[in-house]
Each structure stands twice: as structure tokens, then as C-alpha cells.
Amino acid sequence: MTRHPRLIKPSTTQDVTRLVKEAESKIFGGGTDLVPNRTWGLDTSGTWVQLGTVPETTMISIDEEGRWLIGAAVTLGVILEHPKISTLYPLLADAIRAVATPEIRNQATIGGNLCLDTRCRFRNQPPIWRSGLKPCFKSGGDHCYAAPASSRCVAIVSSDTAPALIALGARLKVQSTSGFRWIKTLDLYSGDGDRHLTLEPGEWIEAIRLPNFPPLGVFDKWRMRGSIDFPEVNVAVSVTQAKNSRTMRIVLGAMGPEPVRLREAEKLLGEGPWDPERLMHAVHTARDAVHPYDNGQIGVVGRKGAAEHILYRALKKLRIMMEEKGENA
Ligand SMILES: Cc1cc2nc3c(=O)[nH]c(=O)nc-3n(C[C@H](O)[C@H](O)[C@H](O)COP(=O)(O)OP(=O)(O)OC[C@H]3O[C@@H](n4cnc5c(N)ncnc54)[C@H](O)[C@@H]3O)c2cc1C
Ligand code: SF4
């Protein structure tokens, strides 16, 4: 008989911290990742801690320094409909619009999107399919089908909002038994597809803080079908122009167990004029910076090619946006 998880609805952040410290417990945001995983036997947690009953996690507010805070349990649908957020942060809104379908976005939370479990075509399969394979790292075994030479799981972080929040320079409020701390969005990811978050037992995300002067940015995504599908690759690029300098953030997602910042491309495009040669050079740096494995819907060569294609498309769009604002690209 299938064991059902206990669903607990705490009312304070302290209760959440206490509950998620217990072994076998997980946060329940909107459940659009947890429930399908449960159905396929990929989630075996004993307790689900629902966030939606904790007021701090369900609000969109402004802090004392004028920065927008989005509670982790706010749904993607509510963020899109917010009168200010979509206008002030179109990069984030475009990433949210790319997640699944409107029905799922109305249930899915932003915290759940950042933390959703990693995916791999050797694991995200019905139990009968998986029963033909010996367990891999992520299922408690000692090897990886996607990367046989690897000593760790390389399952994919497929979040669409993660690259956008990294490119925006957003910070995450992490609650723990010793209080809270703010971390950079990229620091949420460990680089190991099995335990892909750096959160320790008892730690969870309460809110996301957006910068009060958002950079100009573009999000793009490549997937098998025009809607519903998870990304085979996604990209977020942003630029902040100051008088004598330009700061770039260029992030590729869904290529492996963590989103990747293309530091070399950021440096190239942060320094000189964006002539076609420099633009292509920046795009080609992706070849050495990301190393997808054969665990997505399309093969490695296709994913790398798609990454360069959407990166080029996003940078060209960003250049047009800069020109429209009278900024030098
Ligand atoms: C058909 C389909 C298509 C999809 N397409 C996409 C897509 O294109 N792009 C995409 O990004 N996602 C996609 N998803 C995945 C999922 O719907 C979204 O990522 C969604 O945002 C997850 O949010 P949730 O609140 O439902 O997460 P939940 O299922 O509630 O939780 C997901 C995980 O995050 C953890 N978690 C949740 N909130 C927190 C928190 N505050 N702190 C710490 N841990 C937390 C949970 O414990 C769980 O492990 C798709 C899902 C389906 C079913
Ligand atoms: S990447 Fe490897 S270890 Fe991870 S789920 Fe896939 S096959 Fe298993």
C-alpha cells in the first residue's frame, strides 16, 4: 500500500524551521513538482510542510530600502499579475511566462521553482521503466548512466526562474535554526544533481529580494514544444551601464546540476564594443563553459548548439534594447 505523507500547515516561520529540520520532511509549495514525483515513487518524504499558511511567505512587499520582496510561497501566476513586478522586472516576468502552462503557474510557487528537484531521463520515468535498471547515484546506487565516468549525479536543474534571478542579482532569504541570512541565487546550487541545493536540514527559503535598480535583461528558452515542456536550455543576460563601465551577467541554465555564469563572455562584452566578431567570440565561450550530458530530451550536441543559438539571440535582443535606450553596445 502506498504510504501518504503527513501534510502540516504551520503558521510561523519558526514552526517551518523546526519542522523541516526533522528527517524525511520537505517544504510543500504548490506541489506541482512534488506530487508528480510522489506518484512515480521518486519522493518518499514522510512529512510535507505547507508554506502557504505562513504570512511572510505569501506577501509581495517593499523593504525599508525600497527593494521588492517576494515571499517564497507566492505563485508564479500572482507575480505575473502584480501591477509593478512585471513592469519593473520584465526579465523575471518573461522567465515565469516560460514555465509550464497558466494552470500550473497558478499553483506553482517561486520558491518551489527555484528548488524543484533535478531531472534526468534515466530517473524521471515510471517505476516499471526504472525497475529494469540498477539504482544510480540519485537512487542510492553507485554509478551514473548519463555520465559513467562521473563520481556524482549530473541530473539537471530545470528551473526557468533561476537564471533570470541570477542575472537580476536577486538575493534569497534563507531561514535556519540560527536565524536568517541572505545568499546570492547562484549560491543555492551545489553542483551535485543528487543533493542539488546547498540548504542544510532545517534551512529553507522564505523570500526573494529583487534589486531596486534592475539591470536591462533578456530571457530565452529552448524546449521541445512551444509550451508545457521543461527547458533543454535557457538563458538570461543582463547589463548595467555606468558612466565608464558596463557590468554583464550571462547565465545558462538546464545544462547540468547548476546554472552556469559565463564569466569569460561577461568580461568580453563588459569591455569593448559589441561588434559581430566580439559577439560571436562571447557566444563561443559557452563551448568550454558548459558540459551537458546525455540525460535531457535531446542529445549533447543538440543541447550545446541550442545553447549557443539562444545565447546569440538573447544578446542581439539585448543590444537592440540598449540602443533604444541610447546606451552604447
Ligand atoms: C507538466 C509540467 C511542466 C512543467 N514545466 C516546467 C517548466 O517549463 N519550467 C520550470 O521551471 N518548471 C516546470 N515544471 C515544474 C514545476 O511545476 C515548477 O518548477 C514549479 O514552479 C514548482 O513549484 P511548486 O511550488 O509547485 O514546487 P513544489 O512541488 O511544492 O516543490 C518543489 C521542490 O522544492 C522544495 N521547496 C519548495 N518551496 C521551497 C522553499 N521555499 N524552500 C526550500 N525548498 C522548497 C520542495 O520541498 C520540493 O522539493 C513543470 C511541471 C509540470 C508538472
Ligand atoms: S544523472 Fe546519473 S546519477 Fe543522476 S539521475 Fe541521471 S543517471 Fe542517475
Q: DSSP letters of 127-167?
A: HHHHTTS---GGGT-S--SS-TT-SS---B---SHHHHHHH
Torsion sign (Cα): 312, 318, 324, 329: negative
119 near 156, Cβ under 8 Å? yes
Residue 110 lies inside a defined structural domain of this protein? no
Residue 241 lies inside a defined structural domain of this protein? yes
What is the Cα–Cα distance from 151 to 287, expressed in whole angstroms? 22
Torsion sign (Cα): 291, 293, 295, 300: positive
What is the Cα–Cα distance from 144 to 146, expressed in whole angstroms? 6
Residue 232 lies inside a defined structural domain of this protein? yes
What is the Cα–Cα distance from 84 to 88, expressed in whole angstroms? 6
Neighbouring C-alpha atoms within 13 Å toward the C-beta of 61 = 12
Helix (H) or strand (E) holding 241: strand 233-241
Ligand 2 atom with the shortest distance to the CA of 193: 4
- When the pLDDT of each residue in the chain is averaged and rounded to a whole number, the result is 95
Ligand 2 proximity of 120 Cβ (cutoff 6 Å): yes
**What global pTM score does this model have?**
0.97
Grouping H, G, I as helix, E, B as strand and the rest as coil, residue 68 is strand
231 near 254, Cβ under 8 Å? yes
CA neighbor of 209 nearest in space, from 56, 99, 102, 96: 56
CATH of the domain at 235: 3.30.390.50
Residue 42 CA to ligand 1 center (angstroms) comes to 14
Residue 100 lies inside a defined structural domain of this protein? no
- In this structure, are strands 216-222 and 233-241 parallel, antiparallel, or unpaired? antiparallel
Residue 230 lies inside a defined structural domain of this protein? yes
Structural domain containing residue 250: 216-324
Q: What stretches in the chain show pLDDT beneath 70?
A: 1-2
The reported pLDDT for the residue numbered 76 is 98
Please count the structural domains in the chain. 1
The reported pLDDT for the residue numbered 1 is 44
Closest residue by Cα to atom 5, ligand 1, is 100
Ligand 2 proximity of 193 Cβ (cutoff 6 Å): yes
Task: Output the ligand 1 site: residues, CB below 6 A.
Answer: 26-34, 36, 51, 72, 76, 99-100, 104, 108-109, 111-113, 115-117, 158-160, 204-205, 228, 230
Residue 300 lies inside a defined structural domain of this protein? yes
List the grid coordinates of 313: 539571440
Residue 319 lies inside a defined structural domain of this protein? yes
The reported pLDDT for the residue numbered 2 is 58
